[in-house]
Structure 1
């Protein structure tokens, strides 16, 4: 990332001086992943290559973890264009409604 100050502040210095720079890398615990995950990425993101979303998405799919990949070819680290923003918001709200809704007892019995 070009945002060095934040990363160095959060981790008490540059990565090469850390005792265990990979300690917090979630990919190192991928075999423990179970949570439904929505991956969203812009192909023009120069901070994080979009391929870093494709690999964990593929893993989630292969492991049967509910997952979805939303790629914006014309966006960067932020979704800024109006039409893309509408699509992003719809996907986020739909995902949250699906995976965080609380089922009532009567709804549960109806199934």
Structure 2
């Protein structure tokens, strides 16, 4: 079940641009897992962008970081999917 819940279990089906956002103090998803996902996306040629949030967790406990994350996600969707 853990494997099926992992994004890398379906990496061969990925085609759309991906935005990866992670806090560097994330205790739910290890930083190395995002690095691994990025490497797999690069290997497949899937376009991606990444944003690492310094000194925050999986849940964006700092309000300013939450605003940054949501603005980055909105900007990404507009740039990549609203053509």
Determine if the TM-score, normalized by the shorter chain, exceeds 0.5. Answer: yes
SS of the residue corresponding to residue 22 of structure 1 reads helix
Cα distance in 2 between the residues matched to 1:21 and 1:86: 30
**Higher relative contact order, chain-length normalized (CA < 8 Å, sep 6+):** 2
Cα distance in 1 between the residues matched to 2:23 and 2:53: 5
Which segments of 5 or more consecutive residues in structure 2 lack a partner in the other structure? none
> What TM-score results when the alignment is normalised by the length of structure 2?
0.78
Pairs within 5 Å for 1:24-103:
24-101=5-82, 103=83
**Using a 3 Å threshold, how does the CA distance of structure 1 residues 24 and 76 change in structure 2: closer, same or farther?**
closer
- Quote the offset at 1:21 in angstroms: 5.0
> What TM-score results when the alignment is normalised by the length of structure 1?
0.62
Q: Over aligned residues, Cα RMSD in angstroms?
A: 2.0
Which segments of 5 or more consecutive residues in structure 1 lack a partner in the other structure? 1-19, 104-111
- Quote the offset at 1:41 in angstroms: 0.7
Cα distance in 2 between the residues matched to 1:21 and 1:87: 30
